[in-house]
Amino acid sequence: METMSESFGRTRGDVRAFPHDTAAREALEAYLDALPKDPQGFIPCFEGDGLDFSGADLSGLELLGACLDEAILDGVNLRNAELGRASLIAASMRGADLSGALLRKAQGRACDAQRALLVDADLRTSEFEEADLRYADLRGAKLGNAWLARTDLRGADLRACTFGGPTTSTGLMEVRMADTRLDGATGHVTGPVDVGTASPQLIDGDELQRWFVDHGAPEVEVNT
């Protein structure tokens, strides 16, 4: 059970488009029907593990603590949705739009989010280790204290994103970052980072610091 803290959609009428799959639609309807009218009330966990949400527009919905392990969310609109503490382990989110979504403390280990839109998303204290985020758009995303170890960020756009503070650095251990765009990124990170293209090339410390400078992010600081 979780407590809602902001105003998000929580009725069937707030759903712009339901998923095509009958089981996914029924699960979503049952969850929404169980939500209290009081936005400060306790809410049940949305049980969406393994379901196919293709065709859905869930933008702005209250999905705090949702269970979406191994769910199919390819191309699904989740803009500005509340997904804090959601479990997205091994979920398929290719091309999904999570721009502006709240994903604080979300668990996305081994998810496939290639080309997903995460513009201005709040990923602070989330865990997306070993995820596939190739060519994802994370411009302006908040990544403080996020754990991204061994995630694939090749070709991703992290311009103007915000990494962590001195004691809440973003964990980039062995993250693959070849061809990642970083202009204007700020904050503290912990390496080593794999910047190799054809083969692994781990760098850390001063070398990694220079790499960020060379990639337009002189305000990124490497914790040692």
Are the beta carbons of 64 and 84 closer than 8 angstroms?
A: yes
pLDDT at 122 over 90: yes
pLDDT at 1 over 50: no
Closest CA to 119 of 98, 102, 134, 104: 98
> What distance separates the 2 farthest-apart alpha carbons in the chain?
54
Residues with Cβ within 8 Å of 120's Cβ and at least 6 positions away in sequence, in order, are: 99, 100, 139, 140, 141
Separation CA 134–CA 206 (nearest Å): 26
Separation CA 79–CA 61 (nearest Å): 9
Residues with Cβ within 8 Å of 137's Cβ and at least 6 positions away in sequence, in order, are: 115, 116, 117, 118, 119, 156, 157
Q: Give the predicted TM-score (pTM) of the model.
A: 0.94
**The amino acid at 101:** A
What is the distance, to the nearest Å, from the Cα of residue 159 to the centroid of all Cα atoms in its chain? 16
pLDDT tens column, 9-58: 999 999 999 999 999 999 999 999 999 877 777 878 999 999 999 999 99
Q: Quote the mean pLDDT of the chain.
A: 96
